[in-house]
Amino acid sequence: MKVRSSVRALKRKPGSVVVRRRGRVRVVNRTNPRWNSRQG
């Protein structure tokens, strides 16, 4: 699966982790939940 550029920009933020859950790519950020996102 291609990762969208908006998701790729969010993974550079401090504290963010890229996780695959149920076939979806998610960016989970515990330090700032505003940067959570999903693709797919």
Domain boundaries, the chain: 5-39
Cα separation, 38 vs 24, in Å, equals: 7
Nearby residues of 28 by Cβ (< 8 Å), 6 or more positions away? 16, 17, 19, 36
Residue 1 has pLDDT above 80, yes or no: no
The string of pLDDT tens digits covering residues 10-29 is: 888 898 999 899 989 999 99
Is the model's pTM score more than 0.75?
no
* Backbone angles phi and psi of 25, in degrees to 5: -95, 125
